[in-house]
Structure 1
């Protein structure tokens, strides 16, 4: 396959992973939490999600799926203090949101990465 076509496929896959993944995670979280969520808890989640999807999809396309473990570890360790400091009444909701959002995000990024690898 021509290098420019391959590069275009990779760029499109990364864009699809990041942008459509954000929409997918948002829809799933709204479905799970129809009453809404307390603002200010787990700030920056959208940007963190975009970056994690880019990292995961890129790692899979590059042939290094083991890097997903590093992304998961960094996110978990980075969010742990914030989850612990959350008021106990909101902690369960914040933790649930963290887990659901992370799993949906990782599944989507992994799927896009694997499908892109198959196309290439």
Structure 2
């Protein structure tokens, strides 16, 4: 039981936040504006970690490749209140790929034998 408490404490401290994880989970993406996700082809898109990556209980989202550096640089402001957990995520986005959808937006698409119904709804 002591090791369980120690592991939980290390998970919270290791992510640099002592606040509890948001209700939506560590993968929640608190964004104050629109995602930079417009595209013309799938090559324009890339998967990036939301606030917490797949190895920290989170998920991935799809944005334009040319916006990745800015998105990553804004992570401290966007995710400062998020607490990640030391657990591998089972979110379908963690085994997916980025594609340019019919609406001209980067999307997370099924990969590795998943069906589209297994993916979370588009944001």
Q: Would you say same fold, with TM above 0.5?
A: no
Normalising TM by the smaller chain, what interval?
under 0.3
What's the TM-score, normalizing by structure 2? 0.27
Higher relative contact order (CA 8 A, sep 6+): 1
What's the TM-score, normalizing by structure 1? 0.27
Could you say which structure has the higher strand fraction? 2
